[in-house]
Structure 1
């Protein structure tokens, strides 16, 4: 039951991000601001996963980022431990830059 609710939440977030592409920047910005909090790293990876799914899906973004789809799934999993290089590539493949995510005002 919990997994079903989590999936519904994930689907709803992806749908919202698809309907309002500008929200993706605010969403990632807030996740980045909270990254040092308890659970913040996992939350950032989940937010990035939602944006990836809304911006064309895992296969498309993986190709743009120059990583395999499997690597992208592992990178964005709750236990993912991506390198900075991979994160920069994935964020860039979604149309953003870390420097802009850190500096926007919501």
Structure 2
């Protein structure tokens, strides 16, 4: 007897980032890992949750460029990261590392 295959949708973090509080907590948790690739991907998750087309208009960057830069394999410049953060309502800050 063949088993019936269950349909599952692909997991996407962006689907769970509903409120500004969710987003702030997610970005804070990701930043604690001190991993540039993770942070770029996290910004990509937030960008998808907030609307990539709108973000493209606000930053002056193409949607395709944003998807590429904010992917786990992306390597966005500091200028791109700052533009994206500002368009999402955040700012980058350097704080002393905990000892």
- TM-score norm. by structure 2 comes to 0.76
In the alignment, what sits opposite 1:74? 68
Structure 2: tracts of 5 or more residues without a match: 1-7
- CA deviation profile, 1:41-70 (whole Å, cap 9, x unmatched): 222122111111111x21111111121111
More helix per residue? 1
In the alignment, what sits opposite 2:46? 51
Aligned Cα RMSD in Å? 2.2
Q: In 1, distance between residues paired with 2:85 and 2:93?
A: 11
Task: List 4+ stretches of structure 1 deviating above 3 A.
Answer: none
Alignment of 1:58-97 (within 5 A): 58-97=52-91
In the alignment, what sits opposite 1:8? 10
- CA deviation profile, 1:53-96 (whole Å, cap 9, x unmatched): 111x2111111112111110111122211110000000111111
Structure 1: tracts of 5 or more residues without a match: none
Q: In 2, distance between residues paired with 1:65 and 1:32?
A: 22
Q: Which has the larger radius of gyration?
A: 2
Q: In 2, distance between residues paired with 1:73 and 1:51?
A: 12
Q: In 1, distance between residues paired with 2:76 and 2:56?
A: 14
